[in-house]
Chains A and B, each alone.
Chain A
Amino acid sequence: MSDLTTPRTAAVAAGPSSAPGPSPAPGPSSAPGPSPAPGLSSAPLCVFDKVCKWYGPVIGLNDVSFRLQPGITGLVGHNGAGKSTLIKLLTGQLRPSLGRVEVRGRAAWSAAAKRSIGYCPDLDAMYEEMSGRAFVRVMARLHGFSSRETRERVERVLEVVGMADRADRPVATYSKGMRQRVKLAQALVHEPELLVLDEPLNGVDPVGRMEMCRLFRELAAAGKAILVSSHILDELDTLADRILFVCRGRLLASGPLSEIRTMLDAFPARIRIAAPDARRLAMLLLALPRVLGVEIESAGELVLRVERVKEFYGAFAELVAREGVDVERLEVLDASTEAVFDYLMRAVAHAW
C-alpha cells in the first residue's frame, strides 16, 4: 500500500504522519523482512513514528512517519528539504526532538541499533594518506570485531565492491568512483540489515554505475533494506522499489512510484501510444470517459491526457479487444521519479 499525503491534508488526514496510535501506518511494502541478526529482536526493521527534529527555531523534519522494508527505497527532495536530517536520524547520528526512530525495535542512536545500520555518506571525508583497505579495517574495528574477523570481513567486502585488487593504494590516488566503492565497503563491512546510501552514484562512471546498481539489487534481493538518497532521479526510476518524497521537512508521499503517480489526480497522466491507425484510435479513445484529450504527434503516434490511469487501462484493453485495433507500443510519459516529483512540488506550491 502506498501513502500519499497532499500538503493541505498532511497534518490532519490520510498520510502516514497522521496515523493514529503509537504504531505507524504500515509501510509501502509488506514483503517479509530478513531474519534479524542474532541477539536482535524480530521487531520491524526501521520505524519512523511522528518524528520531528528542530534545530533551535529551524524545523528539520516535521511529523514524519514511515517504515522501511526490505528492498530499495529512494529518498527524493530538494536541497534543504530534510533529507540529510532524515538520514542522520535514521543512522543514529541525531536524536529526534519528538517521536521515535527505531531500528529492529531499538532506538536508532543506540549501539545495538547501529549494528544493523550501514551508512555511506555523500562526503569524501576519508583519510587521504590511508589505503582503502586500512580505512575499511578501522571502520570494521569500530564495530568490535576481532582482528582476524576484521581481516576476513574486509577482504570479503572489498571483493564485493570490486576493490580487492586496488585497496592498498592511498585514498588520495583514487578516482571518485573508487572512493564511492570504498565508502560502500565500509558501510557493508558489518553486514547491516539496513543500508543508508547518500548519493552513492555521484561521480561513478556508467559502467561502475551499472555494477553498483546491480549490487544494490542483489543486496535488496538478499533481504536488506536500502535507502538511497540521490539527485540522479533517472537512476531511481529503475533502481527503487519505493520512493519517499520530502519537502520542507515533511513527507509528501511514499510508496511505489506508479501508485503515487496514480494518486496524483490533479495531474492527468500523459500516455504515448504508437499505433498504425492512429487517427481511428484517437477517435475511439476520445469516447472513453477517463480520456481528457488526445494529440496526434505524428502519423503513427498519439499522446493522451488521462485521469485515473488504472481505470483507463481497463477500458483501453476492452476497447482494443473489441475494435481489433493494433497497438505497437504504450508508454507513460510522466511516471518517472522526476515527473512525479515535479507534480508533487507543484501541488505543494499550490497548497502552501
Chain B
Amino acid sequence: MTLEEIRYRGWSEQLTWSWLGWWPIARTGLLLVLRRKVFWIFLGLASLSFLFMFATIYLKAQLTTQNPGFRRFVDGILSNATGTGETYRDFMFAQGTVTMLLLAFAGATLVGDDIRTGGMAFYLARRIGRWHYLVGKLLSVGFLVSLTTTLPALVLYFEYGLLTDSIEYFRDNWTILRGILGYGLTLAAVLSCLLFALASWLPRTVPLVMAWVGVFLLLPATGEMLRDATGSRMWLLLSLWRDVRLIGTWCFGAAGQPRELELLYPSMIVAAAVCVLSIAAVLPRLRATRVVP
C-alpha cells in the first residue's frame, strides 16, 4: 500500500511562516477589547491598584531618602510596599481578581463571537490552520492578563529598585523577577486556556459569566464544604484560584505555610490538567463545519 493510498499527508514546508500569524490574531483580540468602553472600567480598576502602589513606593523612597532613620517606621506604616516577593505576589493576586472579572465579560469578544458567528472562516481560509488560530487567540488572552498583572508588577519592581537601593536591590532580589514572570505566566496560561474552552462552548456573555462564576466561586465554596465534611484538604484543590496562587508563591520562592505546601504539587497537576483539558475541549469547536446529529 502506498503512502497516497493510506492518505498520508506530508508536512507543509510553509508551516514555519504560518506561525507568524499569531501576532495579527493576538493584536486583533486585544484591540477588540480596548475598543469597548465597558472594558476600560475594569482596566481602570486594575490601574487604580497599580497607581496606588506606584505612589506608595515613590512616597516611601522619598521619605527614606530624606531621612534614612525613617526606614523601619515607614516600612511599618506602608507595609504593603516592602519590596519583598510577597508584596508583588499579593499585588498580582489582587490584580488577578480584577483581571478575572474583565475576562469573564471579555470572553465573548475575544473568543466567543468568532465561534458563534463563524468568523473563524476568515482565518482558516488563510494560510493558517486551527493550531495557529488557537495559539493566536490564547496569546491575545494571555497578553490581556499580562497587561493587568505581570506588566504592572514589573514596573513596580523596577521602580522600587531604582528608587531605593538600586543595583543592590536587583542583585539581592532577582528571584522576585523570576517570581513575577512565573506567576504571570501561570496566570496567563491557566486563565487563557480556561477562558478559551468556556467561551468556545458558551460563546455568549451571560452564560460565560455564569460558568466563570461557577468555576471561581462555586467550586471553591464546594471545596471548602467538602473539606469541612471529610477533613481532607485535597478538596481545596477545587479552588483553581488558590492553586494558581500557590504556584505563584512557589515561583517567588516564598516558603508559605507548610500545610499549604503539601498541596503545591497537586496544585501544579490541577493547573496543568486544566490547561490540557481546556485545549482538548477547544479543538472540536475549531472546525470549519459542525455536524449536527
Q: Which residues of A contact B (CB under 8 A)?
A: 55-56, 58, 60, 84-85, 88, 91-95, 98, 107, 109-112, 114-115, 117, 119, 121, 123-127, 129-130, 134, 138-139, 141-144, 186
Instruction: Contacts A93-B125, A144-B17 given; indicate if A125 touches B35 (C-beta within 8 A).
Output: no
Question: Which residue from A55, A98, A107, A123 sits with its C-beta under 8 Å from B289?
Answer: A55
Query: Is the CB–CB distance between B121 and A119 below 8 Å?
Result: yes
User: A112-B13, A112-B14 are contacts. A142–B24 as well, Cβ < 8 Å?
Assistant: yes
A84–B13 Cα distance when bound, in Å, is 28
7 closest cross-chain pairs (CB), A and B = A111-B14, A93-B288, A125-B119, A119-B125, A111-B127, A125-B117, A141-B24
Residues of B within 8 A of A127 (CB): 28, 32, 113, 119
User: A residues within 8 A CB of B27?
Assistant: 138
Residues 1-37 of B contacting A (Cβ, < 8 Å) = 7, 9, 12-15, 17-18, 20-21, 23-25, 27-28, 31-32, 35-36
Cα–Cα, bound, A58→B127 (Å): 28
Report Cα–Cα, A119/B125, bound state, in Å. Answer: 6
Chain A residues positioned under 8 Å from B15 (CB to CB): 111
Inter-chain CA distance A109–B14, complex, in Å, is 11
Given contact pairs A123-B121, A143-B126, A111 touches B17 in the complex (Cβ within 8 A): yes
Which one of A88, A91, A125, A130 contacts B114 once the chains associate, using CB atoms below 8 Å? Answer: A125
Which residues of B sit under 8 angstroms from A98, Cβ to Cβ? Answer: 7
Q: Is the CB of B36 within 8 A of A129?
A: yes
A114, B119: Cβ atoms under 8 Å? no
Contact indicator A114/B291 (Cβ below 8 Å):
no
Q: Which residues of B contact A84 (CB under 8 A)?
A: 289
Give CA–CA (A303, B120) in the complex, Å: 51
Chain A residues, Cβ within 8 Å of B12: 110-112
Choose one: A55, A107, A126, A144; the contact of B119 (CB below 8 Å): A126
A-B contact pairs, 19 of them (CB 8 A): A60-B289, A88-B289, A93-B288, A93-B289, A111-B18, A112-B13, A112-B14, A112-B127, A114-B125, A121-B121, A123-B118, A125-B121, A127-B32, A127-B119, A129-B32, A130-B35, A139-B126, A143-B126, A144-B20
Q: B290 CB to closest chain A CB, in angstroms?
A: 9
Query: In the complex, how many angstroms separate the beta carbon of B117 from the nearest chain A beta carbon?
Result: 4
Instruction: Determine if B127 and A114 form an interchain contact, defined as CB atoms under 8 angstroms apart.
Output: yes
Are B14 and A92 in contact, CB atoms less than 8 angstroms apart?
Answer: no
B32 neighbours in A (Cβ, 8 Å) = 127, 129-130
Chain A residues within 8 Å of B128, by CB: 111, 142
Q: List B contacts of A60 (CB < 8 A).
A: 289
Report A249 CB to chain B, min CB distance, Å. 13
Which of B20, B28, B117, B127 meets A124, CB within 8 Å?
A: B117
**Shortest CB distance B141–A (Å):** 16
Complex Cα distance, B124 from A114, in Å, reads 10
Provide the bound-state CA to CA distance between A115 and B129, in Å: 13
List B contacts of A94 (CB < 8 A).
288-289
| Complex Cα spacing A138 to B21, Å | 10
* Inter-chain contacts of A56 with B (CB < 8 A): 291, 293
Q: With the chains together, A94 CA to B31 CA distance in Å?
A: 29
- Asked if A92 contacts B289 (CB within 8 A), the reply is no
**Residues B31 and A130 in contact, CB atoms below 8 Å apart:** yes
B123 at the interface (CB under 8 A from A): yes
- B291 contacts which of A55, A95, A125, A143 (Cβ < 8 Å)? A55
- The answer to whether B127 and A143 touch across the interface, beta carbons within 8 angstroms, is yes
Across the interface, which residues of B come within 8 angstroms of A58, CB to CB? Answer: 291
Cβ contacts under 8 Å, A119 to chain B = 121-122, 125
In this complex, what residue of A is CB-closest to B125?
A119
- Residues on B with beta carbons closer than 8 Å to the beta carbon of A129: 32, 35-36
Q: Chain A contacts of B289 at CB under 8 A?
A: 55, 60, 84-85, 88, 93-94
Bound complex: CA of A60 vs CA of B289, how far in Å?
A: 10
B52 → chain A, closest Cβ, in Å?
31
In the complex, A125→B118 CA distance in Å?
6
A115 CA to B12 CA in the complex, in Å? 13
Indicate with 1 or 0, residue by residue over B107-120, a CB within 8 angstroms of chain A CB atoms: 00000011001111
Q: State A323–B20 Cα separation when bound (angstroms).
A: 74
Separation of A129 and B32 alpha carbons in the complex (Å): 7
Identify which of residues 124-156 in chain B touch chain A, using a CB-to-CB cut-off of 8 Å.
124-129
Closest chain B residue to A95, Cβ basis: B9
| Residues of B close to A95: CB separation below 8 A | 9
A187 to chain B, nearest CB (A): 8
Q: Please give me the residue from chain A that is nearest to B33 by CB atom.
A: A129
CA distance A94 to B18 in the complex (A): 17
Which residues of chain B are near A111, meaning CB under 8 Å?
Answer: 12, 14-15, 17-18, 127-128
Task: Determine whether the beta carbon of A125 is less than 8 Å from that of B122.
Answer: yes
Bound together, the chains give a CA A316 to CA B126 distance in angstroms of 53
Question: Which residue among B25, B124, B125, B128 has the maximum number of chain A CB atoms within 10 Å of its CB?
Answer: B125
Q: How far is the CB of A200 from chain B (nearest CB, A)?
A: 14
Chain A, Cβ-Cβ closest to B290 = A55
Q: B120 — nearest CB in chain A belongs to which residue? A: A125
CB distance from A1 to the nearest CB of B (A): 28
Q: In the docked arrangement, what's the CA distance between A21 and B130, Å? A: 33
Query: Which of chain A's residues have a CB closer than 8 A to the CB of B24?
Result: 138, 141-142
A142–B126 alpha-carbon span in the complex (Å) = 7
Cβ distance A116 to chain B, nearest Cβ, rounded Å:
10
**How many angstroms between the C-alpha atoms of A39 and B117 in the bound complex?**
35
CA distance A142 to B113 in the complex (A): 19
Could you say which residues of chain B place their CB within 8 Å of the CB of A55? 289, 291
What distance in Å separates the Cβ of B261 from its nearest Cβ neighbour in chain A? 45
B17:A142 contact, CB within 8 angstroms:
no
- Complex formed: what's the CA distance from A268 to B8 in Å? 48
Q: How far is the CB of B288 from chain A (nearest CB, A)?
A: 3
CA–CA, A112 to B16, complex, Å?
12
Whole-angstrom CA separation of A144 from B35 in the bound complex: 25
Contact B125 A138 (CB under 8 A): no
Q: Which residue in chain A gives the minimum CB-CB distance to B29?
A: A127
